[in-house]
Amino acid sequence: MSSYAFWNNKGGVGKSFLSFVAASEYAHSHPDTDVYVIDLCPQAKVSEILLGGYQSSPKAIHSLSKKNPRATIAGYLEARLNSPFRMIEDVSPYLCTPKEFNSHIPENLKLICGDNLLEIISEAIRQTSELSIPVDAWKQVLNWVDDLTVALRKQSGDRDTLFVIDCNPSFAIYTQIGLVAAEGVVVPFTADDSSRSAIENVIALLYGITDPQNEPYARISFGKRAKEEGVSVPKLHTFVSNRVTFGDKPSKAFEAVNQTIQQMMDELHKKHRHIFANPKEQPSNTFMLIPDYHNACVVATTTGTPVHKLKPGPQNLFHQRIELDSEPLQNYRSALDKFVNCL
């Protein structure tokens, strides 16, 4: 697979940070590959990190949104709204190189920046998808971001490509077009009951698979329509659990809920293997565990520093001293490397 959507139907699970890690670490370890990040979150969190962190990124995002056309995902989608059923061959005006704003980022990582205008134009996108002419309007609109990946692959020429698509938790039209552009779905979660419910929603929304009580809704689901109209839907690739600890030990609540979620996925696999990227493997074997190391996450997101560039020792952030201890940092880096290596 070469394109991954990072999505959960619940916010606050580390989705954007994991997108940042996947893109920056993969680009670092694969310098001959063009890594494209497509930010489909109106909050533009992954763009903020890539463009230098919370302090310097607002100026960068403002400069990109002020270009004509906007050098953002909203700029691209506005252009598609003007000509809904014609592909855009040259998508370079909507692309930026984060290294020009943030020297920590590998040069082979490119960004279609997030934009809060995305939320405002979403209704226009939805209405365009429901036009009666052409008869395949919904399918064509759902493929707008997939068209973007095709154009970017063409721009890369003979170089390999990898796409990281950061999706909003909601199942809005702009989330749907991001998911359709991906081959696999990475589902970050925290081991709590709301995450379990959110993963159930991922299955119901994307594939129309739900409990018998909700079967009437499954018959009119996105998954059913996608199958009828020949729209590709990504497979479930990896589940990434952000571990909660007390001291050095995983919390008992974490262990219990994490096991419940794994069992739920294994039971689903018995009846619906076709929705998994590796249908012959039990989903519980594809669960990745990321240890809790809040300090490293804070430093990385605040300064836009990839994990491979973080160094142990004291760090000064906003006149506050943060200590990165060597062993926890190495454990954190090793776990994230294991995840990136599965892409």
Cα 306 to the center of its chain, rounded Å: 17
Determine the pLDDT at residue 174.
Answer: 97
Q: Name the residue among 97, 87, 64 with its Cα closest to residue 145.
A: 87
Determine the pLDDT at residue 322.
Answer: 86
Contact call for residues 291 and 243 (beta carbons, < 8 A)? yes
Contact call for residues 322 and 295 (beta carbons, < 8 A)? yes
Determine the pLDDT at residue 256.
Answer: 81
Determine the pLDDT at residue 195.
Answer: 80
Determine the pLDDT at residue 99.
Answer: 97
Which residues of the chain fall short of a pLDDT of 50? 245-248
| Omega before residue 42 within 30° of 0, cis | no
Contacts of residue 19, Cβ cutoff 8 Å, sequence gap at least 6: 6, 37, 46, 164, 165, 166
Residue recorded with tokens 């990124």: 57
Determine the pLDDT at residue 271.
Answer: 94
Gyration radius of the chain's alpha carbons? 20
How many Å apart are CA 119 and CA 109, to the nearest integer? Answer: 25
Q: What is the pTM of this model?
A: 0.94
CATH level 2 (architecture), domain 3-340: 3-Layer(aba) Sandwich (3.40)
Determine the pLDDT at residue 91.
Answer: 98
